[in-house]
Amino acid sequence: MRKLFFTLLLSAFSWALMAQSPINVGIHGGISNTKIKVKDIGHVLKSGSNTGYMVGVFARVNLGPIYLEPALNYSHKEGEVEKIDNKSSLKYNSFDIPVMVGLHVLDLPVVKLRAYLGPVASFSGKLKWDTGNFGTNIDNDKMMWNGKIGVGVDVWKLTFDIDYEKGLKKFQDNNAGKIKAPRSFNFTLGLKII
């Protein structure tokens, strides 16, 4: 009985220390609405947006009112393009490493309101058209930089974020046409494990 009591007391003490820890670790996932503008040789094509998804892990280092939040995410994004009577989606997958610097705008015991911005290193594979009418796959650079700005709300261990992300480099810019950098709105729900 003494061992059980000691174990429970030690567990409660450890839990209390983790709750006061300046470091949070968690998982998150969400959806994105991505738009990629395409300009064919001399023709501007109609661009639309498509829904993608993201899953990943994050760590947040709280430094008073300021925090640093690196993450590792797997993303699938799509942009829709239309020319005359053909439609196609431009799809790609990437591993993204955002490093956000944020500010706790409102910091109450149960609810926190945050604002953040920062760079995103994105490692992507080939861009793929879902129909053959738009050409071949595009072997873009394996690494791209994006910028991100957003706001978030924490309620106890749950996090909800809305952010805007824009690529800082075009996917393609040559005689075959221009594929501009993607722009997306991301909606993310997360859970702090620690």
CB atoms within 10 A of CB 6: 10
pLDDT in tens, 28-81: 999 999 887 776 655 656 677 788 999 999 999 999 999 999 999 999 988 777
The confidence score (pLDDT) of residue 36 equals 77
pLDDT in tens, 147-169: 999 999 999 999 999 999 998 87
Structure tokens at 96: 């993204």
The confidence score (pLDDT) of residue 175 equals 58
pLDDT in tens, 126-145: 777 666 555 555 656 678 89
Whole-angstrom distance, CA of residue 24 vs CA of residue 65: 15
Structure tokens at 13: 């003490």
Best-predicted range by mean pLDDT (43-52, 114-123, 179-188): 114-123
Number of Cα atoms under 13 Å in the Cβ half of residue 105 = 9
Whole-angstrom distance, CA of residue 128 vs CA of residue 81: 12
